[in-house]
Amino acid sequence: MKRNAKQKKEAPKNGLLILGLLALYKWLQKAWAQWMSNKTKSTSKRAVTIALVIFVSLTSSYCIYLGVHAITGKSKGNAFRVTPIKRPRHLTESGAMESPLPPISKQDYRRIQKFRLYMDSLARSPSGQKYL
């Protein structure tokens, strides 16, 4: 019973924290809007419109300049350089040591395979399981 009571008390704390943060955010938004409104109260609507038009025209012309400059590429000093990736020489090597023993012949390899099959068949047969 006490366990359930603790869980119920902890759940609203998380919700209250989120609600508190949202309320703080809303209050900050209103305070910023009020401060900006007080600062621009004395300026005329025409002056604000002219300032907005100048700001938008300057920023859009700069963006257009950047786009055209990137396409034409007249200045090579500011461009990115593409450098090829060089692979190390040892990349294709496996790192395994060569065996000092000579490779076995096909005939010996077949004999080893037959022996393994024979041992597996002994492990599966009832007479061969007696020795295990």
Task: Give the tens place of pLDDT for each residue, 63-103.
Answer: 999 888 888 876 666 566 778 888 777 777 776 667 677 78
pLDDT of 47 reads: 92
* CA–CA separation, 58 and 56 (whole Å): 6
pTM: 0.36
- At residue 130, the pLDDT reads 61
Give the contacts of 121 (CB within 8 A, at least 6 positions apart): 128
Number of H helices and E strands in the chain, helices first, is 4, 0
Can you give the C-alpha Rg of the chain in angstroms? 40
pLDDT score for 84: 86
Q: Which residues contact 73 (CB under 8 A, 6 or more apart)?
A: 79
- Position of tokens 């055209």? 68
- Amino acid 40: pLDDT: 86
Distance from C-alpha of 19 to C-alpha of 12, rounded to nearest angstrom: 10
> Are 132 and 123 spatial neighbours (Cβ–Cβ below 8 Å)?
yes
- Backbone angle region of 99, left / alpha / beta, with phi > 0 → left and psi within -120 to 50 → alpha: beta
- pLDDT of 57 reads 97
Per-residue pLDDT, 70: 80
Is residue 4 scored above 60 in pLDDT? no
Rounded CA separation 57/51 (Å): 10
Mean pLDDT of 2-7: 55
Nearest to 64 by CA among 56, 54, 75, 52: 56
| pLDDT value of position 128 | 64
Is the predicted pLDDT of residue 60 greater than 90, yes or no?
yes
Of residues 15 and 60, more confidence is placed in 60
Model confidence pLDDT, tens digit, residues 18-43: 899 999 999 999 999 999 999 888 88
